[in-house]
Amino acid sequence: MYLQHFGLHEPPFTLTPDTGFFFNHGSHQEALHVLLVALQGGEGFIKVTGEVGTGKTLLCRQLLKLLDEDYVTAYVPNPFLNPTALRMALADELDIRYARNTGQHRLLQLITERLLALGAEGKQVVLLLDEAQAMPDETLEALRLLTNLETEKHKLLQVVLFGQPELDTRLRQRKLRQLRQRIVFSYRLAPLDRRSIGSYVQHRLQVAGYRGTAVFGTRVLKQLHRDSRGIPRLVNLLCHKSLMAAYGAGCTQIRPVHLRRAALDTEDIVHRKPRRLAFLSGLVGLLALTSAGWLYAFSP
């Protein structure tokens, strides 16, 4: 592909959540700091929300990478589970051995015993759930009940929810108010702003091995921010396709035409009309309104 052409040792704009490319800046840096501080406090729920493509899964995996031996983590990437399946997933993550026909009361006992044992060793247990907006209401309630497990000093289980903004809507339901009140820290991931998008692109290129002059100029970065709305996933898609277009044309710099081609080939991009076309459309509309006014004025 274009790797050799641009002097790269790996693709810089893949969509897989590779922590080696984590951009510790701006909203993501603040969110990671909030998570680490909140987990040190050892209380209740923590919630991180963000639009599709803003990097919640990558943030989750970066957090897992940074938590040291004082923490035991349980990661559930797809929490579209009923309460029974949630308890089984937690038991599996905590290396609890149980028969598949074990009753739910006994399974909860085993989970409690495991949490108490880990607490006695000075370990903090953290359950991280990605795509939490997909959890059924009854599973969210079962999750709340799991956090009732505690000693006189601290909770035996902390929970971090990562989800789309729909999670906030779900939690505003009256029947989930007990869970909502237990959310101690909450953070909303924001898209990349105009200033940071250039740093983001350059960071990923450098991690992938690029050492040359800027591939994306100021004008192209401005267009990139407008087309992607600052959403990292869309930025990655547009940059990847722009590099392909530039490689195909034998160019070592991304030009606006390469980005336009990438945008036309990408879903969820709001395509702007060329200025001339927009001007002509406005002129046609103005003439139509003017004609209607004349017809009304001279109608009997």
d(CA 289, CA 31): 51
d(CA 256, CA 111): 57
> DSSP characters for 147-202?
TT-B-SSSBS-EEEEEE-THHHHHHTSGGGHHHHHTEEEEEE-----HHHHHHHHH
Measured in residues, the chain has a length of 300
Distance of CA 243 to the CA centre of its chain: 24
Residue type, 279: F
Domains of the chain: 3-18+192-264 (1.10.8.60), 42-188 (3.40.50.300)
**Tens place of pLDDT per residue across the chain (300 aa):** 799 999 999 999 999 999 999 999 999 999 999 999 999 988 789 999 999 999 999 999 999 999 999 999 999 999 999 999 999 999 999 999 999 889 999 999 999 999 999 999 999 999 999 999 999 999 999 999 998 888 767 889 999 999 999 999 999 999 999 999 999 999 999 999 999 999 999 999 999 999 999 999 999 999 999 999 999 999 999 999 999 999 999 999 999 999 999 999 998 886 555 444 444 444 334 334 334 343 334 344
